[in-house]
A and B are shown apart, each in its own frame.
Chain A
Amino acid sequence: MVRLFCISLPFILAGCAFPQQVQRFGVEYNSALETMSNEQTLLNIVRAKNGMPAHFTSVNRFTGNMNMKAAGSLNAALRGEGIVDTAQTVASLVRTGAPPNNTDVETDSRTDTLAITEGVDVYTPQISGEIASGTTFDVAVFDGQKFFQGYTAALPYSTVDNFLQQGFDDELIFYLMVSRIEYTLKEATPGYSEKAGDVISSFENTPRDIDKFGYFRDFSRCYSLRTADVSGTPVSIAPMSRFTRDALGSPVPLDLKHVLQIDGEKFGLARPGDPDDPSGLDKDPAKDASVHLQRLAKSQRLPGLARRPGVTCDSKAGAVPADLLFSAPGTATVALLNSGTGEYEGVSAKVQPRIVFRSPEGMIRYLGEYLRAWDKIEDRPSLKLSDGAPLFALTDGRVRGALVSAELLGKRYSVLNASGSVRNMDVINLVQQVVNLQKESADRPLTLPVRAVQ
């Protein structure tokens, strides 16, 4: 039993060690990838700060193999135990004298010995073990057309909305993902030059121009990005009588079979010309001729600019920002050119806000511009967010315990593990996510202003 145990021991030990090795390797690879990913993101931001293009690589396949050998052997020298008879008989012949008078004396002697021996078995166990591990990985370089088509395309609002719904700080999203907010004129005002659709006000989120950044910052103090569910308007397609005709082409009264053929999720019936009850069918068949097939209104999730509570934005006293004076939702006092006098005047007009969202590339470049402005200007408070902390901050040099650090052109930059670092890491997290979300696109990059609700 003991022998069996000894021989089995190395295999038992090997079996115990294997899962631990796998666990350790798995976690270590995970940490290595985390460090690589964070450092690469920071490196690209620092590259942007220096006006350099970003570069992306990733490990897209990690294969680890582990061979574990265990060997055991047992050499044994076994001896018996018991009584050993060592009796000896010695015969001797002794001749004395000279011939012929010599004398022979013949003697026999016998020695009886009984030896009691105790057997001792000698075991020589040999145990040997070997763990050999190897890793192979593929590094993917992202520099193809499909990557850049996604990387340089503006984020769709659905992506921005998802981050908002997932609880990211809306101010952070606002700064990081919104490139510009602009107001267009909804309808022309008689006597003024601007046409419907003309941009009559804009707030550009660019730290390149600290004044423009200031307007945007003031705007963001007043308004936050919120998703608005907007129901559309049903569209009348054609009178039903166009579809319900007999063999001679004459309209026939609506039948149940006609109604059942309509896809209720997309289309409906209505009587748009009936002021009393424009919905559905009337009990009077004579009114069937006025029934129209309608495409149902689709509700949309649009970006909304919602007033931040507790901030006075539109009144004269303490107006923040003073740039736009909203008298009612969708109506603002804007500068329009009086075509008669050639002077711009403040005119109350219906306006339509729209938002231009950044691309992942735009986000990284924006952070680079922000860091450049932070280094350049003395008026740093104007670059801080409403909580008084910067959007993103780096410390020069290698710092022990830094959350992330990266080196470029012989200079090291670190993200400190200190108060405020949560936002820094949120920034890195968001950048990583949007780059990964838009890593490939079959379409040409496109940035279109998105209609917003206010």
Chain B
Amino acid sequence: MSQGPRKTKVGDTPSSDSMLFSALQAEAGSCRFLGRDLPEGSKIRWEGKAYRCTAGNWTETE
């Protein structure tokens, strides 16, 4: 079962597909996806699922 994107602390050892999102909290009010800092409210689609950047975290919307 996919956990989806998660907030990950820097220094974590990437170990699962969740890291593919690299949904690291770049800075307050932005999220990071595939090396790109996206503003709050941005939507991404990854492996058929949709996520929204809310308070620096990716949350699944569907």
Given contacts A343-B50, A344-B44, contact A381 B11 (CB under 8 A): yes
A217 to B26, CA, bound (A): 14
Most buried by B among A202, A321, A323: A323
B20 touches A319 (CB 8 A): yes
Please tell me if the beta carbons of B44 and A323 are within 8 angstroms of each other in the complex. Answer: no
B43 touches A343 (CB 8 A): yes
Which B residue's beta carbon lies closest to that of A214?
Answer: B10
Query: Can you name the residue of chain B whose Cβ is closest to the Cβ of A313?
Result: B14
* Beta-carbon nearest neighbor of B20 in chain A: A322
Partner among B19, B26, B44, B50 whose Cβ is within 8 Å of the Cβ of A335: B44
Instruction: Type the 1/0 row for B1-39, where 1 means its CB is closer than 8 Å to any CB of A.
Output: 000000001110111110111101111000011111110
* A319 touching B27, Cβ below 8 Å: no
Is there an interface contact between A201 and B35, defined as CB atoms closer than 8 Å?
Answer: yes
Q: Is the interface of A mostly helix, strand, loop or mixed?
A: mixed
- Per the bound structure, the CA–CA distance linking A345 and B33 in Å amounts to 9
B10 touches A382 (CB 8 A): yes
Asked if A203 and B35 make an inter-chain contact with CB atoms under 8 angstroms apart, the answer reads yes
Give the CA-CA distance A324 to B20 in the complex, in Å.
8
Check if A211 sits within 8 Å of B25, measured CB to CB: yes
- Find the A residue at minimum CB distance from B34: A335
Binary per-residue interface labels of chain A (82-102) against chain B in the complex, 1 for a CB within 8 Å, 0 otherwise: 000000000000000000000
Q: Does A119 contact B (CB under 8 A)?
A: no
Cα A335 to Cα B24 with chains together (Å): 14
* Docked complex: A310-332 residues within 8 A CB-CB of B: 316-325
Contact B43 A183 (CB under 8 A): no
Q: Is the CB–CB distance between A345 and B45 below 8 Å?
A: yes
In this complex, the interface size class of chain A, counting residues with CB under 8 Å from chain B, is 35 or more
Q: Most A CB atoms within 10 A — which of B19, B27, B32?
A: B19
Q: How large is the interface on B (under 10, 10 to 19, 20 to 34, 35 or more residues)?
A: 20 to 34
A323 and B17 within 8 A (CB): no
Contact across chains for B45 and A344 when beta carbons are under 8 A apart: yes
Q: In chain A, residues 355-391, which have Cβ atoms closer than 8 Å to a Cβ of chain B?
A: 379, 381-382
Is A277 close to B, CB under 8 A? no
Docked pose: A214 CA to B19 CA in angstroms: 14
B35's contact among A319, A335, A338, by CB below 8 Å, is which?
A: A335
Q: Which residues of B contact A343 (CB under 8 A)?
A: 43-45, 50
Which residues of A are in contact with B by a Cβ distance under 8 Å?
A: 183, 200-203, 209-215, 217-218, 316-325, 333-335, 338, 341-346, 379, 381-382
Please report the C-alpha to C-alpha distance between residue A189 and residue B19 in the assembled complex, in whole angstroms: 25
Contact of B17 among A200, A201, A316 (CB under 8 A): A316
Contacts of B21 in A (CB 8 A): 322
The listed residue (A215, A316, A346, A379) touching B24 by CB distance below 8 A is A215
- In the assembled complex, how far is the CB of residue A394 from the closest CB belonging to chain B, in whole angstroms? 22
Instruction: Give the residues in chain A near B20, CB-CB below 8 Å.
Output: 316, 319, 322, 325
A345 touches B22 (CB 8 A): no
* 15 further contact pairs, Cβ within 8 A, besides A214-B11, A345-B45: A202-B35, A211-B25, A215-B24, A316-B20, A317-B16, A321-B22, A323-B32, A323-B35, A325-B34, A335-B35, A338-B45, A341-B45, A342-B43, A343-B43, A379-B10
Q: Which of B9, B14, B16, B21 has the most CB of A within 10 A?
A: B14
Which residue on chain A has the smallest CB distance to residue B38? A344
* 15 A-B pairs with C-beta separation under 8 A: A211-B25, A211-B27, A212-B26, A212-B27, A218-B14, A318-B13, A318-B15, A321-B14, A323-B22, A323-B34, A323-B35, A338-B45, A344-B45, A346-B34, A382-B10
- B35: chain A residues at CB < 8 Å are 183, 200-203, 215, 323-324, 334-335
Alpha-carbon distance between A212 and B33 when the two chains are bound, in angstroms: 13
5 nearest A-B pairs in the assembled complex, by CB-CB distance: A214-B10, A201-B35, A323-B35, A322-B19, A335-B34
